[in-house]
Chains A and B, each alone.
Chain A
Amino acid sequence: MGIFNSLNASASALTAQRLRMDVVSSNLANAETTRASQTEDGQWQPYRRKTVTFQPNGQSFQSHLQTAMGSSTDSAQGVEVTDIKEDPEPFNMMYNPNHPDANDDGYVAMPNVDPLKEMVDLMSATRSYEANVTAMNANKSMLMKALEIGR
């Protein structure tokens, strides 16, 4: 049982939550981007909203076997980001005939980003980040306390 296991678990969560905040920021920044990528025939594609997928760390066969055999104490392993997925929701069609990317009917495909959703996600990530900082500080003070043994 490594003494820094918990700190490593907290650190992995901090990294994951920060990445989530980065992705939210990117979504918000590109909420109006109509030219994110190009198809083969040269058509511009608007930006697609991105989401982050989490998974508990240590999902390998080896760690499962060790847990089943009891040789590894089912210790803190943290979280890891497996994927940054694109939201498959359809684009918002907005009527704006003067827009350079408008189609023949005068509609522009806008990114499927909902700022409200993004803000909720951002707040959730911030709160989780704070909780992990608290956990990390608790760990730290426990380790410091352990160093006082026999002093």
Chain B
Amino acid sequence: MKLFGSTFQVLENSMNYASQKNQTITNNIANVDTPNFKSKDVVFKDVLANEVNNSLETKRTNEKHIPFSSYRGKSYKVVTNSNTTYNHNGNNVDMDKEMSDLAKNQIYYQALVDRLNGKFRSLQSVLKGGQ
């Protein structure tokens, strides 16, 4: 039996996702007045499984050629919402959505940290024999 199980890995992946999402939201908010800026979003890759399976594989004839693969083992992906325009200057950052996403993501992250700590505490309790 593995001591840590898959809980930690799942939590770690989720925290990476939340952290990336936070960066993306921050970037969107920073660029709210930038002309022609299109907002970005982070999505779990499971949703895009088809896209990953259909990704292009290229044949490399030389070691120094640039590898061409979109899948890099991450569980999330950054996408750009380029098909809408929310503002006269081509910008499509929806401030209300970004701010609520920011709050949501913050709480999500804190919940993950709490869960991680809870896991550590229960492990500790086991190691100490319940004392």
Contact = CB atoms under 8 A, between A and B. Distances in A.
Interface of A: 1, 3, 5-6, 9-10, 12-13, 16-17, 20, 53-56, 69-70, 73-79, 124-125, 128, 131-132, 134-136, 138-139, 141-142, 145-146, 148-151
Contact of B117 (A56, A76, A149): A149
Main secondary structure of the interface of B (DSSP, over half): helix
B113 A54 contact: no
Contact of A13 (B15, B23, B30, B116): B30
12 contacts: A5-B23, A6-B27, A55-B34, A56-B27, A70-B70, A75-B24, A79-B33, A79-B34, A131-B32, A132-B29, A138-B105, A141-B110
A16 to B, nearest CB: 8
Contacts, number: 115
Main secondary structure of the interface of A (DSSP, over half): helix
Given A73-B74, A74-B24, 17 more contacts: A9-B23, A12-B30, A54-B35, A74-B40, A75-B20, A75-B24, A79-B30, A131-B29, A131-B99, A134-B99, A138-B106, A141-B106, A142-B18, A142-B109, A145-B113, A146-B109, A148-B113
B23 A70 contact: no
